[in-house]
Structure formats: structure tokens, C-alpha cells
A and B are shown apart, each in its own frame.
Chain A
Amino acid sequence: MKEKKNWIIRVVTALVCFCTSGVAFWLLGIRVLQYKECWSTFYYNSKIANEILSIEGLPYLVRTFFLQFFANPIHGAIVIASLLTCIMIALTITTKKVKNIWMKNALPLFFTFIIGTLIATSLSGMGLLQVFGFHVDPQNMQFMRLSVMTRHQDWDAIISETGDNTPISNLLIQNTLNTALAEKGILGDKIFDQPCEDIRSIYVDVIKTPEIAAMLSDIYYSMGHIAQAQRYAFEANEKMNNLSPRLLQRLVQTNIIYGQYDVAKKYLKWLDNAYYYHDWCEHYYTLLSDNTSNADPEISMKRKCLIEDNRFSGIRGLDDDLLHIARATKGTTQCRTTLHYLGSLYILAGYEQQFVSMIDEFKGTPDLPQPLPHYFEEYYKRAKTE
């Protein structure tokens, strides 16, 4: 009877351990680990593994092995919870001979908790207190969440996450929100709902970290400026030793848009070694020709964005590049998005004449129907009367 009771206690303890750690890592996964997985995952290839070992070392390789599961936070939480439960069971067996009943039960739980905390700090790259929610920069945490949403093009979630009417002073969060607003075609209605000062509210064009370079790549991709999107994705990926699945995905897309299928194939072969990207790669393998890629809605629309008369990016100002992109994509959602960026940039930079000219060219078209977006209308009227 006593033996049976002991078994029940052990099973219940294991279940509690599994559930508690599972929930903890799911929450951490949703908040942080999904973001971390964007920059490094595990590649099931001995050559890549050897390269990572030589550059980053074994701890990094082990870290990416566990991090890969957080491509889906539920999977990540289940894997880590299972691991911790196994560790706890192993510890229970090793402490079988401890006579003190409290020590016997408490020690395995205590050490499992310590190991779990170490795993959490290692995977998240955060300090011990931060893992438990202390000393955490809330804006930093919010940016991580928004970044993952941007990756999944979940624009509504971004708007909802930032839509509590609290003024946003952080430029990175402003940039991400404005990307979502432009994609939804409402940037011209909402841009000044936040305290914007200048064009840095749309894009902070200083590559302080590879994560910022990655964000800029997202913004330029959204604008339709493929050259810049590719450049910043390349910069960021280079800085991350070519290990970021998110940036490899972007490089595959931009190279296919340019018709550079051999390079795209090289990145696909690399990425295809990551478990969670196999299906994505399968789809993109089929786009490695003009015929198939032209049939893909996203690729064909972004391909229209390529500026026909080649020039250096931004040599005549980003606005001039965007104007060309808008003209080349008339009648598509890309044109609407680009016009919202362009109009907002003109207002933020105080380029009245160019703004009026743009509105006169596009107003009343399906890309910029009347009535004009709120802040566009306001600025247009003011500019006209002046």
C-alpha cells in the first residue's frame, strides 16, 4: 500500500514538474525564445555542425539544438519539459537512498529547478532575474514579440499589441508598428497618433546591431525596395555567421525575385537542413525558374518593384526610389503600401512640394482612393493653401 502511494506521489510529482516547466517555457517561448530562434537554429548537417563548432563552439551548438524547437513554442515547451521531467526522475532514482523524507523529495525538485533555470538563461541569453521577469526592459520584450509577429506578417496582432493608446517613444517599436500600418494601408491615417519627429519613425537607418539590420530588411521589403531589403538581410546574416533561418529565408526570397536562382538554391540547401524549415524550402525549391516564380503572387508582385532604369539605391533619395516602385506597381496592394510609406516620409521630412505632386498623381486611383488618408488630407490641404 505504502509502495503504491509512493508511486502515485512520484507520478504526480513528475506530472507537476512536466506541466510547470512546460507552461514556464511556453511563456518564455512566446516572449523570448521564438525571437532567439530567428537568429540561430540547428542544422542537421555534419559540415554545418563542424563549421559552427569551429566558430562558436559546442555550447552554442547544444543551445541551437534546443532553440530549434521554439520555431513552434508549444513544441519547444514540450521538449524542454520532457527533458526536465526525465532529469527529475533520474535524480529521484539517484537520491533513493537518502533517508530524510523531505530531502528525498525536495532535492530532485530543487536540482531540476536549477537545471531548468540554467537552460532558460542559456537559451534566452538573459540574466537569471530577467528570466523571472525582473529587471526586464518592457520595451525590449515588446520589440521581441513584435519582431516575431513581423516575421509571420501578423500585422493585426502588431496593431493590437501596440494599440493601447500609450504613446510610443521607442523608435524600433514605432518602426515595427508603422510597417504593420503601411501593410494594412492605414499608415496615412495613423502615423501621427504616435509622437513622430522625423523619418526615423519609419526607419532608423543606422545598423547598430544585426537585429536592427534585420528589421530594416523587413521594412524595405515591405516598401518594395528589394535591393535594400537584400542588402540589410545580407549584412545581418553575415554578422550572425550565416546561421539565421529568418534571414536565409529573406535571402532566398530576394534572390528569387532577382532571378538569381543559383544563389537562392545555395541558401535553400543550407536552410533545408533545419527541421522546421523543410516545408518552406520545398515550396521555394519549386520557384527556382521564371515560369514558376512568376506564378507565385508574392514573388511576382515584388518583382514588379525592381526599378527598371538601374541606379544606386537612394542616390536620388529614397523617396525617388519609392516613387518609381509605386509607379511600377500601380493597381496592386504593394503600390498602396509604398504610397503610404512615401506620403508619410514626405510629411515627416517636410517635403511639401513632392507630397502634393505625389497626391496629385495618385489621388482617386484604387491605390489612393478619396477621401485621402486622414493625415495626408490634412497635410495636402495645408500645403495647397500655403
Chain B
Amino acid sequence: MRKFLVYIFVIAVNILVFSCTLSEQEAEQLHKKAVISPDYTEVTMPCNIAAPTFALADSLMLDEAQAVFQAGSKTIVVGEQGEEGFCIGIDDWQSLIKEANTVAIRIQGKQNSKWVEYDAFNIYISQDSIDPYLAYRLIEPGYEQWGKMGIYQRNLETYEEEAIITNSQTNGGCMNCHSFCQQNPEKMLFHLRVDFGGTYISNSEKSPLTFSHLTPSPSFVYPSWHPSGKYVAFSNNNTKQLFHTTDVNRIEVFDFSSDIIVYDVETGDILSCPQLHSRSAFETFPSWSPDGKTLYFCSADSVQMPDEYEKVKYALCSIDFEASTRTFSETVDTLYNEGRSVSFPRVSPDGKHLIYTLADYGTFSIWHKDAALYMIDLQSSEASQPHKLMKETGKRASYHSWSSNSRWLIYSSRRDDGLYTRPYIIHIDEQGNCDKPFTLPQKDASFYTYRTKSFNVPELIKGKVSINKEALSSLLK
């Protein structure tokens, strides 16, 4: 009897082992490109990011499917797990990209007992690493009510996501505009709205972060840290939103007024100048250059709102700043003023490139289907060089931030379903050449389908944010 049981056990183990071991199959070529979701075909990914997971969008009614990952002499076969798709483990992925800088992927499927194969596609691995953490706010896209929301951080090398702060700690209020000084996770600020409203800042470079409430308590937006950490530029906006009846953009967010100020973190003084604080213009989206000597911003003639909302075209401007004397120059340079509207200017940490969002009109490019990213080569000797459309990023691209090594840009885009923004990452080389971008990889391919929140204000950071929760809760009492 015992012998019999041992036989049964051995047979069962063999069945289990052999049924779970996948192998590359001799397959007939379909001569057809595999349509996968998210699209990782021919993209360039950093060497230190978690493995991409994807599913076949067009499965041709396959009975089963598998993906053959090949790099150098190493081959790994991964089976499809329903809507979760092909989930290659992080260790397997790392072992592949150690072999070669290109991973070739072939998707094979069984159709009427016969194996077929789609055309192979590649994923290119860049040795430029990306900052290991990403901070973002998770919110429903727009509207006036909200449920749960929070600022989260994601370890890009794994799939781990955790909350930095959620509104369960703030009486359910709204929070926004998290910002870091030069990707430093120890210099952070964020705003709270409704209960405990105001700006909270941690500037001590000590972890866990201990926040203090900015005094006087301003309700400013679009923060940008001066690289010294001594100043933060804000925009002070009187914002309203209205709902389109028929337009694809759904919502129009606009400012009745807006001005830029610079907040001295040490003294609490507020600095400005007529060029940044004019009644005849809307000034917004301040952003420091990495040397702290120039403040970029957007400016538009103030018009009657909301009647003339389509006439609001923000120009891209810059003004010099002398930190030692806390003074601005009297002249303003205009980098773009050609009939469309600029938002979110961001200079790369190496100071070589400036990327901004350009839309047909208005201030809130996040909702604009025509919004796209443009790049300026700041080192070019040509005075009026054309600004390059980053066509790889496509339409509906808006908020963006650089990695600390200037080789990666993360941006939010609504291009997938037109409503929920997802984070996309694009590789940019020293000359400003762009590779095909990719969606932030998730543990399985259906992740974005079941996430009904937008990734808002994605900011790359050099390490994990750790907050002194006790100090924060006593501050929020």
C-alpha cells in the first residue's frame, strides 16, 4: 500500500513539474506584428527598472500563448496568465538584461493544435539608470468631489507602492502639489486643502521627514524649489473649472488671475517683482534652472474669463535671479510666443534641455487632447532655433519631470483611454534624441484596467521618502 502511494506521489510530482515547464515551440510564422498592451515593442528601458508585463491585445483566439524572451545566449519562456498576461519575474528579467542590451521577444500561440508565432519585437536596455523612486498623487481625474486620495511612492526597481500620506490622515481633505528639491527625497513640500489647509515643508535633510507649516500660511500652487533649497517659487492662482457640453476635453480649468512669488524658506519673506506680478498678465508655472540663476515661467495677457478662455495663450519667459541679493533682473526674455500656449517648463538637471507642454490654448494642458511635449536645446548657439516636437510622446502628454541624471523624463499622458493619466518614461540622450517611451511597468498587464485613478504629478526621486508620522499627526491636530 505504501509503495503504491509512493508511486502515485512520484507520478503526480512528475505531471506537475512537466506540465509547468514551458519550452520554445517550432511554430509557423504569422508574419504579423503582435499587438500587446501596454505597448513595450521597440521601447528603451533603463537597466534598473522592474520587468515589463504585457498581454496580447489581439489573441487570434489562441488556445494558449507563451512569450519567448531571448538575450544573448539566454532564453526564458513565460506562459500567459489570463488577463494578467506574460509576467516575467524580476530576477529572470535581470538575468536577461545582464546578458545583452537587447531583449528579443517572440510570442507563440497554439491555434487548432498548431503553434504559430508573431513577428519578434525588441526591448532595448539603456545603461543609463533611472532614479529608483517615483512619487505621484493618485486621484480620480477631475471633478469636484473626491473619495480617498493620497501621495504615493513607487519603487521602480520592484512593483512596490506605498503611501507617503493619504487623506485618511487629514480628515479626508484634498492634497496636492508635492514637490522635491532636485529629486531629493529629504526635501519635500506638499499642500493640503480644506482641513489643515496650507503648505507643509520639510527642509532639514533628515529622514524621517518632519514637516512644518509654512507661515504666513499661503495657499499657493505649482511649487518649484530653488536648487539651494532656500527658496520656493509658487504661483498664486484664482482657479475655476467649467464643464464642456460636447468637447472631447470634458473640463476646462482656467485662472481668473495668477501671479508668481518666491518664498524665502528661512525668513518667511515673500519676494516678487512687477514682471512676475502684473495685473495685465497671468503669470504661472514657475520653474528654476538647475543653477538657480534663472526662473522660467509662463505668461499670458489677462482677458475676460471665462468668455475668452480660448484666447489665453501662455508665452514661455525667463527672468534672471540673484540669490545673494534676492533680486530679479528688470528684463524678461521670451523664449516662445507664437500663438499657442505653454505650460510646465522644466530644465534638465544638466542644464542642457528645456521641455515644456504646448497646447492650442489655456492653462490646463492636462485636459487638452492636443497637448504635446516640446524641447529646447539650451546650449545651442542659434538665437532662434526651432523648438523640437517630441513626437515620440504623442498627444495628450502634459506634466513631466526629469531624472537626476538628465537621461530620463517621466510624463503623464491620457493617450490610452483619454481620461485616466498613466506615467510614461522616455529616454533622452545628451544630444536630445528621444527613444520610444514606455508605460511604467506594473506587476501584471491588467493593472491599469483596474486602477480608476490618475497618476498625477509624477516626480522622480533619488530615494525613498520616509515621514515621521507621529510628528505629522500631531501637526495635523
**Does A pair with B?**
yes
Q: Provide the residues of chain B in CB contact with A241, threshold 8 Å.
A: 147-148
Contacting pair B147 A238 (CB below 8 A) = yes
A162 interface residue (CB < 8 Å to B): no
B243 interface residue (CB < 8 Å to A): yes
CA–CA, A234 to B452, complex, Å? 11
A228 interface residue (CB < 8 Å to B): yes
Contacting pair B246 A310 (CB below 8 A) = yes
Contacting pair B144 A55 (CB below 8 A) = no
CA–CA, A311 to B420, complex, Å? 23
Partner of B450, one of A48, A207, A321: A48
Contacting pair B420 A266 (CB below 8 A) = yes
Closest beta carbon of chain A to B2's beta carbon, Å: 37
Interface residues on B, range: 20 to 34
Q: Provide the residues of chain A in CB contact with B417, threshold 8 Å.
A: 260, 262-263, 265-266
Closest beta carbon of chain A to B59's beta carbon, Å: 15
Partner of B147, one of A225, A239, A313: A239
What 1/0 mask marks residues of chain B from 124 to 168 whose CB sits below 8 Å from any chain A CB? Answer: 000000000000000010111111100000000000000000000
From known contacts A238-B143, A266-B417, infer whether A227 and B243 are also in contact, taking CB-CB under 8 Å: yes
Q: Provide the residues of chain B in CB contact with A321, threshold 8 Å.
A: 245
Given contacts A207-B145, A307-B246, A312-B242, 17 further A-B contacts (CB under 8 A): A47-B447, A55-B148, A227-B245, A231-B243, A234-B142, A238-B140, A238-B147, A239-B146, A240-B147, A241-B147, A242-B452, A262-B417, A265-B417, A266-B420, A266-B449, A270-B449, A312-B245
A269 interface residue (CB < 8 Å to B): yes
CA–CA, A366 to B242, complex, Å? 35
Contacting pair A227 B450 (CB below 8 A) = no
B3 interface residue (CB < 8 Å to A): no
Partner of A242, one of B140, B242, B419: B140
Q: Provide the residues of chain B in CB contact with A210, threshold 8 Å.
A: 145
Contacting pair B145 A213 (CB below 8 A) = yes
What 1/0 mask marks residues of chain A from 240 to 278 whose CB sits below 8 Å from any chain B CB? Answer: 111000000000000000101011011001100000000
What 1/0 mask marks residues of chain A from 183 to 217 whose CB sits below 8 Å from any chain B CB? Answer: 00000000000000000000000010010010000
CB within 8 Å of B: which A351-371 residues: none
Q: Provide the residues of chain B in CB contact with A270, threshold 8 Å.
A: 449-450, 452
A51 interface residue (CB < 8 Å to B): yes
Partner of A234, one of B143, B148, B242, B416: B143
Contacting pair B245 A310 (CB below 8 A) = yes
A residues whose Cβ falls under 8 Å from a Cβ of B: 45, 47-48, 51, 55, 207, 210, 213, 225-228, 231, 234-236, 238-242, 258, 260, 262-263, 265-266, 269-270, 306-313, 315, 321
Closest beta carbon of chain B to A260's beta carbon, Å: 6
Contacting pair B447 A306 (CB below 8 A) = no
Nearest 10 CB-CB pairings of A with B? A262-B417, A312-B242, A310-B246, A242-B452, A238-B140, A227-B245, A235-B145, A47-B450, A307-B245, A310-B247
CA–CA, A260 to B417, complex, Å? 8
Q: Provide the residues of chain B in CB contact with A265, threshold 8 Å.
A: 417
CA–CA, A236 to B144, complex, Å? 10
CB within 8 Å of A: which B288-345 residues: 306
Contacting pair A262 B416 (CB below 8 A) = yes
B89 interface residue (CB < 8 Å to A): no
CB within 8 Å of A: which B404-460 residues: 416-420, 446-447, 449-450, 452
Closest beta carbon of chain B to A42's beta carbon, Å: 15
CA–CA, A292 to B415, complex, Å? 24
